[in-house]
């Protein structure tokens, strides 16, 4: 009877040890997966991403902790897959966010380049406009100078012509004045009783050796 009781106690101790060992194994497996989950959940970059996948991993951990021995292997597998999925989803979202940020930065850079090119084009257009205006003003000034030169030339020709005509008029006036002065002198001499010399000197003289009547 004593031997039987001793054996019962031994078997009971073995059962307790086995149960404790199984419980320790279950706690160790759960802790391993919990640490893996916490690596994602506490990551400063990944923690705020993939909230649905993270919740599924938490549910799997809770189910693993409460799972019976027969279901434990299944929940270990499910929990591992869900933790992996949560990490992959979070990393994918981080990568997508970085790509979106890079795309936005690229868009801003392209916009800045486009604005700079447009500003340069406007500056070039303004420069060309000013140059065209300067060339137009220079052409207008040249045209006016040419017109002024032509006008001055025409005026010079007209002045020369007028001077020639004036000289002719003065010569004619001088000739007339001289003729009138001569005529005036002849009239004054006639009035004074002086006979002006005749043009035919031989008229009125008797011929040499001729008879008087």
Q: What is the pLDDT of residue 92?
A: 96
Number of domains making up the chain = 1
- Region class of 129: left (phi > 0), else alpha (psi between -120 and 50), else beta: alpha
Residue 92 belongs to a domain: yes
Residue 149 belongs to a domain: no
Residue 68 belongs to a domain: yes
Handedness of CA 79, 84, 90, 93 (dihedral sign): negative
Query: CA 75 → CA 35, 38, 67, 71, 158, distances in Å?
Result: 16, 18, 7, 6, 121
Would you say residue 142 has pLDDT above 60? yes
Q: What is the pLDDT of residue 25?
A: 46
Q: What is the pLDDT of residue 8?
A: 42
pTM: 0.47
Question: What letter does residue 167 receive in the DSSP assignment?
Answer: H
Residue 166 belongs to a domain: no
Residue 191 belongs to a domain: no
CB-CB contact of 37 with 57 (8 Å): yes
153-206 pLDDT per residue, tens: 888 888 888 888 888 888 888 888 888 888 888 888 888 875 555 554 444 444
Residue 43 belongs to a domain: yes
- Residue 45 belongs to what domain range? 12-113
Residue 55 belongs to a domain: yes
Residue 103 belongs to a domain: yes
d(CA 85, CA 60): 12
Task: Give the residue with greater pLDDT, 186 vs 121.
Answer: 121
């Amino acid at each position: 009877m004593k031997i039987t009781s001793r054996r019962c106690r031994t078997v009971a101790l073995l059962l307790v040890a086995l149960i404790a060992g199984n419980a320790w194994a279950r706690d160790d497996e759960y802790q391993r997966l919990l640490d893996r989950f916490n690596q994602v959940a506490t990551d400063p970059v990944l923690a705020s991403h993939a909230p649905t996948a993270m919740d599924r991993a938490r549910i799997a951990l809770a189910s693993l902790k409460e799972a019976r021995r027969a279901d434990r292997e299944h929940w270990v597998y499910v929990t591992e897959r869900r933790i992996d999925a949560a990490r992959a989803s979070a990393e994918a979202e981080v990568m997508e966010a970085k790509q979106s940020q890079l795309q936005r930065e690229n868009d801003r850079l392209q916009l800045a380049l486009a604005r700079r090119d447009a500003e340069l084009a406007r500056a070039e257009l303004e420069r060309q406009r000013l140059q065209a205006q300067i060339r137009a003003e220079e052409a207008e000034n040249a045209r006016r100078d040419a017109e002024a030169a032509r006008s001055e030339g025409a005026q010079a020709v007209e002045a020369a012509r007028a001077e020639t005509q004036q000289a002719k008029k003065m010569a004619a006036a001088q000739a007339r004045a001289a003729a009138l002065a001569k005529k005036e002198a002849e009239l004054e001499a006639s009035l004074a009783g002086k006979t002006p010399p005749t043009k035919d000197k031989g008229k009125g003289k008797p011929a040499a050796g001729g008879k008087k009547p």
